Amino acid sequence: MIAIGTSACAPDERNTLMAPNPTMPGSAPLIPGPGNGRRVLLAYFSRAGENYFYGGRTNLDVGNTQVLADEISTLIRCDVHRIEAADPHPASYDATVARNVREQDINARPGIANPLPSIDQYGTVLLASGIWNVRAPMIMTTFAESYDFTGKTIHPVTTHAMSGLGTTERDYARSCPGATVGEGLAVRGEEVRDAGPDIESWLRRTGLLQSRSSATG
């Protein structure tokens, strides 16, 4: 049996994308949901362990992209799927860099331990990961090539040291023919815990989050 790692953002919100969102403390009432009214999937890959930190190294109990994904999922209604590598990555930063170089050099498609059976129910897919050597880890290409994204909107989401979105917009456009690649979000890994306002601004610009007053006129 395939283990499905998808979790809802909140237990009672899985199938109610267009219902009003609870008001956030200290902010205007919010209405989540894309314009096309279809469900949103947030699929992300994130690696805990030794990582880059302001030119040095730190040990992350929770990967930066997971922190970002958690924040996004508190702001919008979406299904969340954490992509797990069939062959887990080492905790060592240098060993992970070396493995990634090998995988990029051979244009590998690393296996996914918990593939989703389908993404048909989603109109919008947020593809989130760190940036590894200026692109998404190759396992994100495995994921992107596993499904038919025709008619869907993809938003690349990254955490990074200095490369921003890297080549993710171009790469996902290539891997997902027929999809529209919308505005991406890039957050520095070191700053991900303070990125709430930037995340919210991006969600508003993309239409994934709307003020109730502007949504209802």
Ligand X SMILES: Cc1cc2nc3c(=O)[nH]c(=O)nc-3n(C[C@H](O)[C@H](O)[C@H](O)COP(=O)(O)O)c2cc1C
Residues that bind ligand X (CB under 6 A): 46-47, 51-52, 60, 63-66, 93, 96-97, 100, 130-134, 159-163, 189
Kind of pairing between the strands at 30-32 and 209-211: antiparallel
CB atoms within 10 A of CB 160: 22
Instruction: CB nearer to ligand X: give 29 or 164.
Output: 164
Query: Least distance in Å: CB of 124 to ligand X?
Result: 21
- What one-character-per-residue DSSP string does 114-163 give? S--S--TTEEEEEEEEE-BTTB--HHHHHHHTTS--TT-EEEEEEEESS-
Nearer Cβ to ligand X, position 132 or 143?
132
Q: Report the alpha-carbon distance of residue 103 to residue 99 in Å, rounded.
A: 6
Please, which residue, 138 or 181, has the CB nearer to ligand X? 138
Report DSSP letters for 13-38, one per residue: -TT-TTSPPPPPTTS--EEE--TT--
Q: Which of residues 8 and 91 has its CB atom nearest to ligand X in the complex?
A: 91
The residue among 17 and 44 lying less far from ligand X, judged by its C-beta, is 44
> Look-up: residue for tokens 């989603």?
122
**SS3 of 169-181:** HHHHHHHCCCCEE
Integer distance in angstroms from the first to the last C-alpha of the chain?
Answer: 48
Nearer to ligand X, 124 or 159 (CB): 159
Cα distance between residue 178 and residue 152, in whole Å: 8
Output the CA torsion sign for 201, 184, 84, 137: negative
Q: How far is the CB of 13 from ligand X (least distance, A)?
A: 24
